[in-house]
Structure 1
Amino acid sequence: MEVPMIARRSSWTGGAIQDRLRRLNLITTVPPLAFVGVLLLVFTARTWWHVVIQVVGLIAALATAERWTAGDFLRVARPSLVVTAVVWLAGALTDDPSSFYGLSLVGSFLIPPLPRRRIPALAGLAVLVAVLGATNVLVHDDRVGARLIQFAAIPAAAVLISTGFMFASQRFFDLIAELEQSREREAELAVIRERVRFAGDLHDIQGHTLHVVKLKVALAEKLLDSDVDRARAELEEVRSLVGDTIVQTKELAYAQRRLNLSAELENAKNLFEAAGIHVRVDRESEVDARVGELLGQVLRETTTNILRHAQARQVRITLSRCGIAIVNDGAADDGPPELSGLSALRHRLVENGGELEVSATDGRFLTAASFPAMKTREDGR
């Protein structure tokens, strides 16, 4: 037996969250850093040697940034720190004040994630930048004060500022990760609520029946010696009651129990929103009561399929008098999956004069149910 509306997203949700966060980090971090590095290269490099050392430092810094977005940067950041320190030393000795850029980036990525002693580490990085930059005065003895400001004080201050911004960025991305995890927990809670709702429906169907069966069987046992015909009648009622319960249980298992479309719509909205999916509902008119139950079954089954098979971010539900259309993004590129639940519903709709359309185009999945015969009769009035 399969519980309807249970979203089995746990197998891919965590990976999907990490992928989205990494893409966000890549877009907001690496291109701006590369752009600034190229600008410094274009406007400050005066010799081919300056070009070489700035490119080496920039590559090391961008490699650290890329690994930072993947959450695996420590093993890259430490060698990159050594490389960019050597680059800055070479730049200071060759009169290239922009070559500290790579070292400042690597340090700003390395320090904020430290579990403790981040302030001393930041101070040590600033001192390292200043000391390496101060080596410029060893080979250039003119304008010592100006050179110390240009190669020691300004780069050290820039490192402090860039790392301070990185502390803020680290907190921002931590908040995004917490938000995504919160959405995942909400989706799991929605699954639990759906299981509880299903358990309640199952209890309503079987709990009362089993209690009645127990009483009737006990009564039949007492009547076996005194009134066989009455005992036989009681057992016949038991058999009929059990048969009805089996039918109701099957209907519940396959979402064919009588449904309230408004309740199903509210339930679907809650499930989608809990899973972090934006929902839009358009009501072109009030749904005809004669088809509301079948349309509710289509909505329930489609909601289950979206949560199971799609990585949707948006869902649009359109209700008309004789139909419903559900469109979601995030559909698989290899075509629509095999959806046995919708296949069974298609037969029920056809038996009642309806039709079901299922299609996937450009990553968008459409599920639409309608009753054209009913619409034609209304238009002809």
Structure 2
Amino acid sequence: MTDSWPVSRPRWTGGAVQDRLRTLNLITTVPPVLIVGVLSLVLTAHSWAHVVIQVVAVAAAVATAERWTAGDFLRVAKPCLVVAAAMWLLGALTDSTGASFGVCLVGSFLIPPMRRRRLVTLLGLSLLVAVLGSANLLVYGDVGARLWPYVGSPALTVVLATGFVYLNQRFYDLIAELEQSRERDAELAVMRERMRFAGDLHDIQGHTLHVVKLKVALAEKLLDADPARVREELREVHTLVGDTIVETKELAHAQRRLNLSAELENAKNLFEAAGIHVHIDREADVDPRAGELLGQVLRETTTNILRHAQARQVRITLSAAGITIVNDGAHEPGSPKLSGLSTLRQRMADHGGELEVSRSDGRFTTAAAFPAWTAREETR
């Protein structure tokens, strides 16, 4: 029947959590077992033989309880069950009712962790305890007075003790599941933060590197025709790289904040440098709460237009809680891919916003807005 038991009691969690749970279970399990065992010895032991028998039985129960809290009880519980059963038989033969304590407790720890046949095993263990106790009836007679303390009470004690251990196990398994859930939530939070950091780093350095590439290419074309313009472009590249270093440091220290007005000016300059006509419509002043996220959307969209589209015109429309960027030169068939905007879509959603992209008639539209904020403004 070894396949009925797991190799060991299921371990709750790892590391510090497991240690805390084991300590808690140790405190709530072993002392009560020891206290009840000592009380039973004091109340029922009438000779030194009784003391020795009950001490051995209590020791078997305490050893099993201690290993049970550690999740490694099976190799200890089986021999302890044999020892405790032998002590109960000796106790029954020497008229010591307290000797049943050990076998009842050890058996109760063995049954709850079983994978199957728990009820059958419980009934078998109760029957075994009752049969061992009935030896007292054979030796001393007086069945009416001895039937309950040596047969009925020990058999019932096995059932009650097993129920208590089962509830105890389920309680601590539930605590373990809660602790594991907290650990998973903490790990997910760390992963989200790493993804956010990676996205921000991509926004900063990916955007800068692409702009540097464009300016260097422009400087190369003008190297012979307009040296003064080349020097100006190289100065801008130097400034841009310096700004990127500063932004990267701010990002590493959680100090980075985007300014929508600065991003608008930067996007306008980049588009004009690439020969793209830019038109900016300001329908309303942008809510300061929306400025940073909308600035991120504008920066990512600017990079996408410069990198992927053959745009000649870009229109940027600002509302109180939204931004829309429309560019031509989007001739790729099929549904548009969000790429870097996918991360921003999730960030917008986390703050109650929406980010949509669409392609139609060679035009690509990126629209980001906070509908709830707009609705609140209109009701005022």
Q: TM-score, normalised by structure 2?
A: 0.62
Separation (CA, whole Å) in 2 of partners of 1:189 and 1:151: 57
Separation (CA, whole Å) in 2 of partners of 1:100 and 1:173: 27
Residues 40-60 of structure 1, C-alpha deviation per residue, up to 9 Å, x if partnerless? 111111111111111100011
Structure with the larger RCO, 1 or 2 (CA within 8 Å, 6+ apart): 1
Match of 1:16?
Answer: 16
Q: How does 1:207-356 map to 2 (within 5 A)?
A: 207-255=206-254, 257=256
Separation (CA, whole Å) in 2 of partners of 1:125 and 1:18: 31
Counterpart AA for 2:205: Q
Shift of 1:242: 1.0
Shift of 1:252: 2.5
Separation (CA, whole Å) in 1 of partners of 2:189 and 2:216: 40
Tell me, which stretches of 5 or more residues in structure 1 are unaligned? 1-12, 260-381
Counterpart AA for 1:181: Q
Give % identity: 71
Match of 2:47?
Answer: 47
Separation (CA, whole Å) in 2 of partners of 1:138 and 1:241: 100
Residues 219-238 of structure 1, C-alpha deviation per residue, up to 9 Å, x if partnerless? 22222242222123212211
- The number of residue pairs the alignment matches comes to 246
Is the partner of 1:90 in helix, strand or coil? helix
Match of 2:310?
Answer: none
Is the partner of 2:181 in helix, strand or coil? helix
Shift of 1:203: 2.5
Match of 2:118?
Answer: 118
Shift of 1:244: 1.9
Match of 1:80?
Answer: 80
Q: TM-score, normalised by structure 1?
A: 0.62
Separation (CA, whole Å) in 2 of partners of 1:149 and 1:60: 24
Separation (CA, whole Å) in 1 of partners of 2:244 and 2:101: 74
Shift of 1:14: 2.7
Tell me, which stretches of 5 or more residues in structure 2 are unaligned? 1-12, 259-380
Cα RMSD, aligned residues only: 1.7
Shift of 1:258: 6.1
Matched, 1:166 2:165: yes
Match of 2:127?
Answer: 127
Is the partner of 2:14 in helix, strand or coil? helix
Shift of 1:207: 2.6
Shift of 1:150: 1.9
Is the partner of 1:135 in helix, strand or coil? helix
Match of 1:89?
Answer: 89
Shift of 1:81: 0.3
Residues 101-157 of structure 1, C-alpha deviation per residue, up to 9 Å, x if partnerless? 11111111111011111111111111110110111122112x113322221111101
Match of 2:314?
Answer: none
- After superposing the two structures, state which structure 1 stretch, 230-239 or 30-39, moved more: 230-239
Q: How does 1:349-364 map to 2 (within 5 A)?
A: none
Point out the structure with max Rg over C-alpha.
Answer: 2
Match of 1:105?
Answer: 105
Separation (CA, whole Å) in 2 of partners of 1:50 and 1:107: 21
